Chain A
Amino acid sequence: MPVNPDLPERTFPPVAPYLVGREKVREFARATRASAAVHHDVEAARSAGFADVVAPPTFPIVVAEATLQQLLAEPDAGIDFSRVVHGDQRFTYSRPVVAGEELTATLRVTGVKTLGGNAMVTSETDMVDAAGQHVVTSVSTLVVRGDDA
């Protein structure tokens, strides 16, 4: 089944709020070797003006993941996960993410392009805080390889 060209008209319901945990931020920072004190040490983060430890810039992919699962699970999307590779990724922030806050993520598909047997599915996931204020937008392009690619 090819990727559904009508997907760009689709916005998914928000996923359950994600609580950013202090130890999860530290674990993610260790895994990506981000050793700046603001990611690990609450006092260092507070002296820099943050409420708690600061998540590394690529951390929101953890939050966005649940929204991408919504897209992949869509019965008529035509996206075979075993043929999916990550094409590009961008994060645009209004402010850094800090531990202790809740992020609610909403995905919308913004484009489907076909290129040489592959389909490129671009989606945007907006993440807002508990007050409904924008924190970060994740833009991902997934490349769905065609049968002969």
Chain B
Amino acid sequence: MSIAETLGIELGQVVADQTLTLTRDSLVRYAGASGDFNPIHYRDDVAARVGLPGVLAHGMLTMGVAIGAVTDWLDARGWVSDYQVRFTRPVVVDPVDGAEVQLVATVGALDDDEARIDLTVSYGGQTVLGKAQARIRTL
């Protein structure tokens, strides 16, 4: 069976469409989980000193939550064999309101045993991850 038949997908199908709110709490959790303790991800004074518009989400956190939505959809039916992104714009995380990130994941290409999922990730109406693509395979 092809991957399209196994997963019941077709070209252009949206497999995830959601809004994720990243808060300062999310950044602290990700710092602990990843070991990336760069203070620009939790200290306003440090972010200001190095000329940033505010505390920024780790690029790897944005990359991680985007694929998390895809693997939630995929569940135990398959695995990600390749995942790439370009970090094009920072996500500034307000101390009170956080940052709302929009994510849409679409089936961008299909062959017999592999599907390419294209991710559009935006914040404040602007794309923050460029060429965000994941390749998935069935088990």
**Closest Cβ neighbor of B22 among chain A residues:** A33
Contact between A31 and B29, CB atoms less than 8 A apart? yes
Q: Which residues on the A side are within 8 Å of B71 (C-beta)?
A: 34, 36, 39, 56-57
Contact between B85 and A27, CB atoms less than 8 A apart? no
- Residue in B33, B76, B87, B139 whose beta carbon sits within 8 Å of that of A28 in the complex: B33
- Tell me whether A4 is interfacial, beta carbon within 8 Å: no
- Residue in B63, B64, B72, B86 whose beta carbon sits within 8 Å of that of A31 in the complex: B64
Majority SS at the chain A contact face:
mixed
- Tell me whether A100 is interfacial, beta carbon within 8 Å: no
Majority SS at the chain B contact face:
helix
Contact between B85 and A82, CB atoms less than 8 A apart? no
Q: Which residues on the A side are within 8 Å of B125 (C-beta)?
A: none
- Residue in B64, B75, B85, B86 whose beta carbon sits within 8 Å of that of A32 in the complex: B64
- Tell me whether B123 is interfacial, beta carbon within 8 Å: no
Nearest CB of A to B78, in Å: 9
- Residue in A32, A90, A96, A139 whose beta carbon sits within 8 Å of that of B65 in the complex: A32
Contact between B72 and A34, CB atoms less than 8 A apart? yes
Contact between B72 and A35, CB atoms less than 8 A apart? yes
B51-94 interface bits toward A, Cβ cutoff 8 Å, 1 = contact, 0 = none? 00000000111011101110110111001111111110000000
Nearest CB of B to A103, in Å: 15
Contact between B68 and A56, CB atoms less than 8 A apart? yes
Q: Which residues on the B side are within 8 Å of A39 (C-beta)?
A: 71
**Closest Cβ neighbor of B137 among chain A residues:** A93
- Tell me whether A109 is interfacial, beta carbon within 8 Å: no
- Residue in B60, B79, B81, B131 whose beta carbon sits within 8 Å of that of A61 in the complex: B60
Which positions in A face B, CB cutoff 8 Å?
A: 24, 27-39, 44-45, 47-49, 54, 56-58, 61-62, 65, 82, 85-93, 95-96, 139
Instruction: List 4 other contacts, CB 8 Å, given A31-B26, A45-B76, A65-B36.
Output: A30-B33, A34-B67, A34-B72, A96-B80
In the A-B complex, list the 9 residue pairs whose CB atoms are closest, starting with the nearest: A32-B64, A34-B68, A90-B84, A31-B33, A48-B76, A57-B80, A88-B86, A58-B64, A31-B29
